[in-house]
Structure 1
Amino acid sequence: MTAEPPRTQRDKVPFLMLLPNMVTLGGMCIGLTSIRFAMDERFGTAMLLLLLAAIFDGVDGLLARSLSATSKIGAELDSLSDFLCFGVAPAILVYQMYLSGIGSLGWVFVLVFASATCLRLARFNVHNTSQEEDAKPMTYFIGVPAPGGALLVLFPAFLDYAEILSFGDLPYVVAIWSVIVALLMVSGVQTLSPKALRVPRALIWPMMFTVVIAIGLLFTRPWLVLVIVDTVYSASLIRSLYLAARRHRG
């Protein structure tokens, strides 16, 4: 019969096991701070903070899997943080920038987007649970994921700040766009997942240089880079919708 370790050792948790949840909480705090800047009408800073929150959201999952520190409480914490950072924060930002001028109707569109994010995350949690039972990880997302929805709903703001198009006098266009993004989030369309991406060996070095150029542009023309990212992602969604329609007809 083996002796149990001393109680003081059993009550201690390795720091690395806590790191993913700490990153998640950090991302949540960044999302909350974005709301503060949006309310102060410092919209550029608010958008950049949401992008930083998206980076934190990606990093915490990678850390949890790399350190074998996944847990149910971590998954729930991540989902709640995602709702705040990618549902509530971008909705308030869009309302403050474009929809406050149309009053209560503008707030209705905000509620639609935030509710769609909540429903999207709830469905994602259910799918994650079923994947654990079936041990068959999916290589695609069902509907647009919450961070992708946040980036898409901010597309008009990116175009504004890149000085390509101005939507200040077009609140209803922004409102309709937010509803389209909300519908894409709760749809059953299979959308692009990084897990499914495969890079041909011949394109590895060109891709590396592209990343270097993109990082350089982020420091000089960040809004233009974000417009390009949203445009490419929108093109992938159009392709997904086309394939879904073809499957439906077939």
Structure 2
Amino acid sequence: MVERKYIAPNAITAANMFLGYLSITASIAGDFSKAIWFIILAMICDGLDGQTARKLDAFSEFGKEFDSFCDAISFGLAPGILVYSVLKSTDSMKSFVIPVSFIYALCGVMRLVKFNIVTTASSEKDDFSGMPIPSGASVVCSYLLFVETLRNSTGIDLFSVEAFVGITLLAAILMVSTIPFKTPDKVFKFIPKKLLLPFIILVLATLKYSMFIITCYYILVNLTKFFSERSKEELE
């Protein structure tokens, strides 16, 4: 008999996977905008299931494995299919469609396997070895969302196939790297608590633009810290 406290977090995790599945179907149908938003909604579920588990003290090895399998669908396979569908619809770089999309999905799954090996189910959130897979999905999806919104609102088309391929491969490399990534709450701890709610509201109101900017900031802060510390070690 499953204890009642485990039902809510696992149900949210299942919703995460369902949204990833919907994203895949939308990508196959050529509706890239819906595919992106389904992945974004899956990210919200991914955050909520952990918070729910912490509040209910409902951590378990099953929950950890279930979460990772669902993340593999929503943030590994779904963005991979989205990348495949977007590149397939372009006139250039068609020979790179399968390699680029598969490498992203493969690195995402490998990232989750490594995470499961080195962590145990608990209420503590440690820093990451390599970029977390939701951030990988975020940078890929937010770039597409950013350029689509800019094109629709201003008529300026900044989409570049080369840039999109570069962003996708960079995300893949960072996910399987050993570069330490701090949790988002540590990266954005400079925001005063009294301004946190207005900041969140501002981000949500401008999500089509702010998501890409915030994701890039998160990645750059972690990379800058890593390379600056590495330079100091080499000089000593």
TM > 0.5 between the two? yes
Measured in 2, the distance between the counterparts of 1:78 and 1:243 equals: 34
Rate the CA distance shift 1:248–1:92 in 2: closer, same or farther, 3 A. farther
Shift of 1:198: 7.8
List gaps (5 residues or longer) in structure 1.
Answer: 1-10
Q: How does 1:172-187 map to 2 (within 5 A)?
A: 172-187=162-177
- Pairing 1:96-107 to 2, within 5 Å after superposition: 96-99=85-88, 101=90, 102-107=93-98
Using the alignment, how far apart are the partners of 1:244 and 1:154 within structure 2?
Answer: 30
TM-score normalized with structure 1 length = 0.81
Alpha-carbon displacement from aligned partner over 1:136-182 (angstroms, at most 9, x marks no partner): x56421110010110112243133123177465x3233222211111
Conserved in 1, the CA contact under 8 Å of 2:139 and 2:212?
A: no
Q: Distance in 1 between matches of 2:84 and 2:145?
A: 15
How far apart in 2 are the matches of 1:50 and 1:223?
Answer: 13
Q: Look up the match of 2:72.
A: 83
155 and 213 in structure 1: CA distance in 2 versus 1, 3 angstrom threshold: closer
- Larger Rg belongs to: 1
- Is 1:190–1:240's contact at 8 Å kept on the other side of the alignment? no
Name the Cα RMSD after superposition. 2.6
Q: How does 1:205-220 map to 2 (within 5 A)?
A: 205-215=194-204, 217=205
Q: In the alignment, which residue of structure 2 is the partner of 1:4?
A: none
Instruction: Give the letter aligned to residue 103 of structure 1.
Output: K
Deviation at 1:214, TM superposition (A): 2.5
Secondary structure of 1:154's match? helix
Q: Which residue of 1 aligns with 2:208?
A: 223
Q: Distance in 2 between matches of 1:92 and 1:141?
A: 25
Task: For 2:83 and 2:167, locate their aligned partners in 1 and report how far apart those are by CA, in whole Å.
Answer: 11
> Does 2:48 align with 1:63?
no
2:81 to 62, 87, 92: 92
Q: Secondary structure of the residue that 1:162 maps to in structure 2?
A: helix
Kindly indicate whether the alpha-carbon contact (under 8 Å) linking 2:75 and 2:136 is maintained by their aligned counterparts in 1: yes
Taking structure 1 as reference, are residues 198 and 28 closer, same or farther at Cα in structure 2, changes over 3 Å only? closer
User: Which 4+ runs in 1 deviate beyond 6 A?
Assistant: none
> 1:112-151 residue pairs with structure 2 within 5 A?
112-129=103-120, 139-151=126-138
Contact 1:156 1:167 in 2 (8 A): no
Q: Any idea what SS the aligned residue of 1:16 has?
A: helix
* Residues 190 and 244, structure 1, Cα contact 8 Å, conserved in 2: no
What corresponds to 1:240 in structure 2? Answer: 225
Q: List runs of 5+ in structure 2 lacking aligned partners.
A: none
Q: CA deviation at 1:195?
A: 5.7
In 2, the alpha carbon distance for the partners of 1:209 and 1:158 equals: 23
TM superposition shift of 1:240: 3.2
Secondary structure of the residue aligned to 2:30 is coil
SS in 1 for 2:119: helix
Contact 1:23 1:56 in 2 (8 A): yes
Q: Is the 8 A contact 1:99 1:171 kept in 2?
A: no
2:187–2:221: 8 Å Cα contact kept in structure 1?
A: no
Pair 195,154 (structure 1): closer, same or farther in 2 beyond 3 Å: closer
Measured after TM superposition, the shift of residue 68 of structure 1 is 1.7
Label 1:176 to 1:199 Cα distance change in 2 as closer, same or farther (>3 A): closer
- What is the CA–CA distance in structure 1 between the aligned matches of 2:102 and 2:77, rounded to whole Å? 9
